[in-house]
């Protein structure tokens, strides 16, 4: 595992706009409920000027961590919770490793879009409340 701490201004997400396109329905994963997830579909997430903006809410980015993990580490990190362990296949990851971005924000709790699995430059998966949202980059 490689871990990098970078400033919010250096974030690979800075000045990008994403849409919550869908969510993953994963068997054996405990979450806050798909009814809540459905209400988030179509929302826009904007990363700009050390902030995350989603709907009418704005969160100040205080720290951005980037790490590269493999499937074994994902399995270990998610095993033992009340849900079953996750696999790369669950999240649509086709590579041997994935970049994980963790963004700390104020105020808390952190919004959707603050814990990310980078699938490609146009797709990410964000976890919030046990729900895994599919984010698509808007042009």
Q: What is the pLDDT of residues 125-139, one digit of tens each?
A: 999 988 999 999 997
Higher confidence at residue 52 or residue 108?
Answer: 52
| Residue 48 in this model has a pLDDT that exceeds 50 | yes
CA distance 50 to 42: 23
Range of the domain at 126: 2-137
The pLDDT tens digits of the residues spanning 18-44 come to 999 999 988 877 677 888 899 999 999
- Give me the chain's average pLDDT, please: 88
The alpha helices in the chain, defined as continuous H runs, are 34-40, 71-78, 88-91
Q: How many domains does the chain have?
A: 1
Task: Enter the pTM of the model.
Answer: 0.87
Of 58, 63, 48, 51, which Cα lies nearest the Cα of 101?
Answer: 63
For the segment 78-85, the average pLDDT, to the nearest whole number, is 79
Q: Tokens 């701490």 — which residue?
A: 5
Model pLDDT, residue 10: 47
Identify whether the C-beta of residue 55 lies closer than 8 Å to the C-beta of residue 39: no
88 vs 20: CA distance, rounded Å: 20
d(CA 23, CA 34): 8
């Amino acid at each position: 595992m490689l871990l990098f701490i970078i400033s919010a201004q250096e974030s690979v997400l800075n000045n990008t706009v994403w849409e919550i396109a869908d969510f993953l329905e994963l068997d054996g994963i405990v979450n806050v409920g798909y009814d809540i997830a459905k209400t988030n579909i179509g929302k826009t997430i904007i990363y700009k000027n050390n902030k995350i903006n989603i709907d009418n809410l704005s969160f100040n980015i205080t720290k951005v961590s980037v790490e590269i993990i493999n499937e074994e580490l994902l399995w270990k990190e998610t095993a033992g919770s009340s849900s079953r362990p996750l696999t790369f296949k669950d999240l649509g990851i086709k590579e041997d490793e994935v970049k994980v971005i963790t963004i700390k924000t104020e105020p808390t709790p952190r919004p959707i879009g603050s814990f990310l699995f980078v699938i490609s430059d146009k797709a990410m998966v964000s976890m919030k409340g046990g729900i895994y949202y599919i984010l698509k980059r808007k042009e």
